[in-house]
Structure 1
């Protein structure tokens, strides 16, 4: 499992200098225009900058990469957690769903292929 912070920003390109330049998260792993991940080449620390999720009605605060998203989805349902965005495969290739934690935070549970 890998946990990645999802930070809301108004403009990814405007925020890039701070996160990539000043903080040294200079490796841009991907940039879809509305979400981009920046990683430190030295430590592997990373952050995702998100302007607005392209497919969901709410924005997550964390992305949790799992090996079996279907099992995670079934477990969340069994526990009675609110599913904010349904399980599905997105056009950019990830399979994911959003779940609301009991404290109100929305998490993106995602499996990369």
Structure 2
């Protein structure tokens, strides 16, 4: 698996309030990805990003980071081969993102996915 991007998933109570802080105060934008329960805030040069998450709409647990890869199927097969707990199976989500959740040995839940335009 080749990791192409990693971003923190920050738990927030209210997306609109959180977006205001990250957009208006820190100067990030939210045009890249914005659903009712998750929004990605990105710097103008796309060098930094963070996701604001109220709860994951399709997975049983929230993840602490999102890792984008160029080979999500290979990453899923390798996680299974190594015996890691799969928290959310490999799924193509309604918004087009193909992903799965795996539990790291330290207990953190990691969202591993591929999105063609990211």
Q: TM-score normalised by the shorter chain: which range applies?
A: over 0.9
* Counterpart for residue 98 of structure 2: 95
In the aligned structure 2, how far is the partner of 1:9 from the partner of 1:68? 29
Q: Give how far 1:97 is off.
A: 0.3
SS at match of 1:7: strand
* Counterpart for residue 61 of structure 1: 64
In the aligned structure 2, how far is the partner of 1:7 from the partner of 1:27? 14
After superposition, residues 28-43 of structure 1 pair within 5 angstroms as: 28-42=31-45
In the aligned structure 1, how far is the partner of 2:46 from the partner of 2:55? 27
Q: Give how far 1:58 is off.
A: 0.2
1:84 and 2:55 matched: no
Q: Runs of 5+ in structure 1 lacking a partner?
A: none
* Counterpart for residue 54 of structure 2: 51
In the aligned structure 2, how far is the partner of 1:88 from the partner of 1:34? 18
Q: Runs of 5+ in structure 2 lacking a partner?
A: none
> Deviations along 1:50-80, whole A, 9 cap, x unmatched?
0111100100010000011000000001111
Give the TM-score normalised by the residue count of structure 2.
0.90
Q: Give how far 1:26 is off.
A: 2.8
Runs of at least 4 residues of structure 1 off by over 6 A? none
SS at match of 1:76: helix
- Total equivalences in the alignment: 113
* Counterpart for residue 112 of structure 1: 115
SS at match of 2:76: helix
